[in-house]
A = this chain, B = another copy of it.
Amino acid sequence: MIIVMKHGAGEKAVQQVSDVLKEHGLGVHISNGSTATIIGVIGDKAKLSGVNLELMEGVDKCVPIMHSYKLASREICPQGRTVQVGDQVIGGQKLAMMAGPCAVESEEQVFAAARGVRQAGAAFLRGGAYKPRTSPYAFQGMEDEGYRLLRRAADAEGLKVVSEVISENQLDTAAKYCDMFQIGARNMQNFRLLRAVGRSGVPVLLKRGIASTVEEWLDAAEYIMSEGNYNVVLCERGIRTFETSTRNTLDISAVPVIKERSCLPVIVDPSHAAGKSAYILPLSLAAAAAGADGLIIEVHPNPKCALSDAAQQLTPQAYGELFEQVRRVAQAVGRTM
């Protein structure tokens, strides 16, 4: 951490700050600049818990230098982590392809979706059993029955199940049916839930909050990892901006930023970012080209009758065509499908 003193702060103020730092076991380097004095703090700033340097006489601001996550950082694992989900590996050379309906609606629907998804070539079946919805009057999902249907459909096609969990109280049940837990964007900072999935040991797909910075996202991953569960995959799904022509703004740059800062795999969800099926193909190709480790895409056997997010779901046939086009781009950047 660096402490910048106010223009005109006297020697006494600098001395007081310096004294406080030393009392807490920290090293101090003072630079008397032409316009301001700067104090470099050497050591772990956690030692300063309970000391508020910003409020001390003469202090202008404190500039943090290090990020707060450690286990999720690139430094701790420069070669990057892979996450194993059954016999599938996420974060290696092969892209992880996840697909399925926004919400599980019926046995027929989820089996048809699973079939289409598997025929296209994907290895993961996604589907919402518990649906957090903006309005209390919207369809909230089939709940545990949804999990059961997903499991059966996935088993019938040899797929892994990825599904959202929304409460620490449901994890035991969810773990019976899911191979991977999804934490949705709205719950990215539901720290109780993060710790609970951390303790569960089940692989986690952590979606980025709609207005979360990359740093906050990695701090959220750190919550899970700090409980001993390193099987975390990040998922970029669009952020909220002023632009309204898409549902959210896909932050494609987050892919290389994550690769630089974090050891965790990162996949992309073009469906929620775009909010419109016509944009899903170009965004999927962009994600593969940018180095994403996989894609999670909404596929519904009959999008026109979907109970939620209908406008952004693909048919199995359109997904099959997308799959082949993504394959070509993946090969162009040295990845496989």
Residues of chain A touching chain B, judged by Cβ–Cβ distance below 8 Å, are 2, 4, 7, 27, 29-36, 38, 40-44, 46, 49-52, 54-56, 63, 65-66, 68-69, 75, 132-139, 166-169, 186-187, 189-192, 195, 209-211, 213-216, 219, 222-223, 226, 239-246, 249-257, 260-261, 273-274, 277-279, 282-283, 285-291, 303-307, 310-311, 325, 328-329, 331-333
Query: Main SS of the interface on chain A?
Result: mixed
B250 touches A243 (CB 8 A): no
Given A166-B191, A213-B245, A56-B240 contact (CB < 8 Å)? no
Closest B residue to A195 using CB positions: B136
B44 touches A34 (CB 8 A): yes
Given A134-B216, A329-B333, A311-B139 contact (CB < 8 Å)? no
Residues of B within 8 A of A191 (CB): 132-133, 136, 166
Closest B residue to A275 using CB positions: B253
B253 touches A245 (CB 8 A): yes
Residues of B within 8 A of A333 (CB): 285, 325, 328-329
Residues of B within 8 A of A44 (CB): 34
Residues of B within 8 A of A286 (CB): 252, 286-287, 289-290
User: How long is the Cα–Cα vector from A148 to B171 in the complex, in angstroms?
Assistant: 30
B240 touches A242 (CB 8 A): yes
B49 touches A139 (CB 8 A): yes
A44, A52, A240, A291, most chain B CB atoms within 10 A: A52
B278 touches A219 (CB 8 A): no
